[in-house]
Amino acid sequence: MKIRISLVSILSVLICLQCAEPRVDQTREVITLKKGWKFEKGHHPNASKIAFDDSNWQNVTVPHDWAIYGPFDKNIDKQTVAIIQNGEEIATEKTGRTGALPYIGEGWYRNTFSLENFDETKKVLLLFEGAMSEPEIFLNGEKIGEWKYGYSYFYFDISAYINGTSKNTLAVKLTNVGKSSRWYPGAGLYRNVRVILKNKESFEHWSTFITTPSVRQDEAKVNIKTKVSGTDLKLVTDIFDANGHKINSKETSTVINSTFEVNIKVNQPQLWSPETPYLYTAVLKLYKGDILKDEITQRFGIRTINYSHKTGFSLNGEIRKFKGVCLHHDLGPIGTAVNISALRRQLKILKDMGCNAIRSAHNMPSFEQLELCDEMGFMFLAESFDEWKKPKVENGYNRFFDEYAEKDVVNLVRATRNHPSIVMWSSGNEVPDQWGSEGVKRAKWLQDIFHREDPTRPVTVGMDQVKAVMESGFGAIMDVPGLNYRVHLYEEAYERFPQGFLLGSETASTVSSRGVYKFPVEIASMKTYPDFQSSSYDLEYCSWSNLPDDDFVLQDDKPWVIGEFVWTGFDYLGEPTPYDEAWPSRSSYFGINDLAGLPKDRYYLYRSRWNKTDETLHILPHWNWEGREGETTPVFVYTSYDSAELFLNGKSLGIQKKSNDTKQNRYRLMWMDVKYEPGTLKVVALDNNGNPAAEKEIKTADEPYRLVLDSDVKTIKANGEDLVFVTVSVEDKNGVPCPTATNQLNFEVKGSGTYRAACNGDATSLELFHLPTMKLFSGKLVVLVQSTENAGEIKLTVTGTGLKKGEIVINSI
């Protein structure tokens, strides 16, 4: 099968993402309901009524995750289950599987808003970008609708329920039931809620779709389709380049089935790619006579994608592979409440690693994440479901599949199909429906819906039952056959499937704890330890998975393997494999980065292979091993160089060169017989001629002495939302990092900011994120400081008993 795709994508900015107050222009008003919310958890049968007294409820801002504030409790959503995806056959008690946080139960939100410009000529939409879970919506005491899927975006036309120009009372009931998730799902209105006031004669919501039937070096043909309400209308479309210069314009009054179609030429188009994420802007104006009725502004990118039996995947005519990671939707210590600063930090970290693609696991991505991927240059695999008709968990999406699956796919595609970053859809992940003919029919049905709504992109499914999908035909019907793990079946799948290529839709599931090293150093599956940590020598994996090196070999040696999406880019709350039967353990160990966003050693293994621009030279383990003097302490080096020489206290321990002897030797430099002695460990990387090219050293630290603070940014916006992430570490008197420090620290924020949260990346920690105190883990933690709406200096002070305090100043503007 060969799919030739040429696409120009749009990024809708119909809604002002930063607005706390109404944004008024000539044609429409958008209110982002961030402030003024009242929240209460519990059963409140009269909370939908206008006169209900919510004065004693908690004041919150939205996005909001009610469960992230804890406490951690192993009895929350304790599940006795055999995890089929992990190959388990006997049910056992699982604690921490959904993060051990109190997401279960009812939650109510109430707010009021006014529409001063409302009259009978207007239409009002109420948009929810994410509500966990099973939302029921009430306006002015009347139920206006409901949805089921907590990850879906949806909207209602509420024009008939509006109280004119007076106050309108909005109430939202959310219900999270136990045994409804395999990971921490969050709870609450965790993404934005917006009210859109526009003329009845206007663009239909999520109806605009822009493609390019042809893209050449000298010109691109831009095709715009958009649906409208009203008659005798005219569409004027202007195209602007990235500098705001108008480069073309087109006017049309031809409407067929309420749809305008326009073709506009862009000369010498700048193509969108991860390296050059160039974005244009389209302004669409809708007129009746000479009266402007509606106007939308949209960014878009021009690029071509191609999936071919002969060449695999190509972008803009260039064959390339996905160097991707999977991301859950929680943002560590702030939970699932979407935050642009937190998302941007994640993507910056991944960009430095050389990552070029993201897979949303296993649900619809946020609009903010897609916008950032458009801007920063990440290809995106947008996923829809973790479950179809056959259940993975007792109260999962299977309850709603028949009624909602098509509606959820339609909303996903229409809301996001115009992002240049999206290059593929996924209709499911490891669904039990992979077995049997009914599953094949469901796969085809869902894929056809995606094709109907967007004929320009292919569809995949993350398939883990590879033998089953070979036999049933499930894998053969997919546009892109995605294999989750099962590296030993790649060759057979390639021979059996007709597409001519395979995607590693989920790979590795290697486990590690940042800064923790276990001896002896050996390859092991499902290895556990008394401290509930996993070794950061990156040689431990899960029963169903494998080591990174296994995937590297396939990616490098098999041109028909078009890339991989590593499980996962960051640790996430829940699924604490291999400790999901142990307590305390409440977050994953899979991440290349930990829950605080701090890189583990594995980060540098991927960086050494993926980042072709910057040098990588990284040593592990740390060199503080009191009591191990004279014992074998292997040293690994992850580097973009092919060889290096290791020195301990000035004595050479020999040169290691990457080779094909083993998979590990091909990608890691390893000195397996090093005997520990305190002092200085230095590695000197060698160029292709054997000459020194770079060096790195680590030293044995003395007692912790001072705290050191470093922020990811120096300036943030005074909007009450921006975050700064401050990494706190500890050094001895000589400035040597103390990699084993576990001091209890306290945090104080003064000035134009507030303390938001802290995280140390320890999957076993039960300390609450929002309290201003936490222990260091492996010598580090991260403090999150949030701006207020007042510009000025923000000062963070960190103290710990016996330590010289650390301070940092951030400017809020």
Residues 153 and 268 placed together within one structural domain of the fold: no
Residue 25 pLDDT > 60: no
Which position has the token pair 């033998």?
A: 467
Alpha carbon distances (Å) from 155 to 197, 205, 300, 704: 13, 9, 23, 54
Give the number of other CB atoms < 10 A from CB of residue 207.
15
Q: Is residue 72 part of a domain?
A: yes
Of 29, 201, 371, 430, which one is the catalytic site residue? 430
Residues 296 and 311 placed together within one structural domain of the fold: no
Residue 14 pLDDT > 80: no
Sign of the CA dihedral running 432, 438, 443, 447: negative
The model's confidence at residue 83, banded by pLDDT at 50, 70 and 90, is: confident
Q: What is the pLDDT of residues 200-217, one digit of tens each?
A: 999 999 999 998 889 999
Residue 224 pLDDT > 50: yes
The model's confidence at residue 18, banded by pLDDT at 50, 70 and 90, is: very low
Residues 94 and 188 placed together within one structural domain of the fold: yes
> What pLDDT score does 26 carry?
59
Whether residue 502 contacts residue 562, with contact meaning beta carbons closer than 8 Å, is answered with yes
Of 40, 368, 387, 506, which one is the catalytic site residue? 506
Calculate the CA 486 to chain-centre distance.
Answer: 24
Q: Is residue 29 part of a domain?
A: yes
Cβ-based neighbours of 421, under 8 Å, separated by 6 or more: 9, 370, 373, 374, 378, 379, 380
Give the number of other CB atoms < 10 A from CB of residue 77.
27
Residues 194 and 220 placed together within one structural domain of the fold: no
Residues 270 and 364 placed together within one structural domain of the fold: no
> What pLDDT score does 418 carry?
94
The model's confidence at residue 20, banded by pLDDT at 50, 70 and 90, is: very low
Residue 470 pLDDT > 90: yes
Active-site annotation holds for 506? yes
Q: Is residue 232 part of a domain?
A: yes
In whole angstroms, what is the distance from residue 51 CA to residue 260 CA?
A: 45
Q: What is the pLDDT of residues 122-149, one digit of tens each?
A: 999 999 999 999 999 999 999 999 999 9
- Give the residue-averaged pLDDT of 761-780: 98
Q: What is the pLDDT of residues 100-113, one digit of tens each?
A: 999 999 999 999 99
Residue 13 pLDDT > 70: no
Residues 505 and 441 placed together within one structural domain of the fold: yes
Residues 452 and 560 placed together within one structural domain of the fold: yes
Q: Is 501 helix (H, G, I), strand (E, B) or coil?
A: coil
Whether residue 424 contacts residue 411, with contact meaning beta carbons closer than 8 Å, is answered with no
The model's confidence at residue 87, banded by pLDDT at 50, 70 and 90, is: confident
Domain stops at, among 287, 303, 319: 303
Residues 650 and 791 placed together within one structural domain of the fold: no
Domain stops at, among 652, 677, 699: 699
Q: What is the pLDDT of residues 303-350, one digit of tens each?
A: 999 999 989 999 999 999 999 999 999 999 999 999 999 999 999 999
Q: What is the pLDDT of residues 285-314, one digit of tens each?
A: 999 999 999 999 999 999 999 999 989 999
> What pLDDT score does 426 carry?
98
Residues 195 and 216 placed together within one structural domain of the fold: no
Percent of the chain with pLDDT over 70: 97
The model's confidence at residue 79, banded by pLDDT at 50, 70 and 90, is: confident
Residues 59 and 75 placed together within one structural domain of the fold: yes
Domain tally, the chain: 5
Question: Greater confidence, 14 or 521?
Answer: 521
Tell me which residue of 483, 488, 425, 485 sits closest to 454, measured CA to CA.
425
Residue 239 pLDDT > 80: yes
- Give the residue-averaged pLDDT of 260-284: 97
Residue 17 pLDDT > 60: no
Q: What is the pLDDT of residues 425-454, one digit of tens each?
A: 999 999 999 999 999 999 999 999 999 999
CATH number where 100 lies: 2.60.120.260
Q: What is the pLDDT of residues 554-606, one digit of tens each?
A: 999 999 999 999 999 999 999 999 999 999 999 999 999 999 999 999 999 99
Active-site annotation holds for 430? yes
In whole angstroms, what is the distance from residue 482 CA to residue 349 CA?
A: 26
Q: Is residue 580 part of a domain?
A: no
Residues 328 and 375 placed together within one structural domain of the fold: yes
- Give the residue-averaged pLDDT of 384-392: 97
Residues in the chain: 813
Q: Is residue 515 part of a domain?
A: no
Domain stops at, among 146, 176, 201: 201
Residues of the domain holding 679: 625-699
Whether residue 674 contacts residue 662, with contact meaning beta carbons closer than 8 Å, is answered with no
The angle at the Cα of 194, spanning 193 to 198, to the nearest 5 degrees, equals 165
Q: Is residue 542 part of a domain?
A: no
DSSP per-residue letters across 43-59 = --TTTTSTT---TTSEE
Q: Is residue 524 part of a domain?
A: no
Q: Is residue 544 part of a domain?
A: no
> What pLDDT score does 125 carry?
98
Whether residue 95 contacts residue 74, with contact meaning beta carbons closer than 8 Å, is answered with yes
Buried b / exposed e across 262-300, counting CB within 10 Å, b at 16+?
bebebeebbbbbbeebbbbbbebbbbeeeeebbbbbbbb
| Verdict on whether the full-model pTM lies above 0.75 | yes
CATH number where 268 lies: 2.60.40.10
Residues 244 and 174 placed together within one structural domain of the fold: no
In whole angstroms, what is the distance from residue 120 CA to residue 663 CA?
A: 70
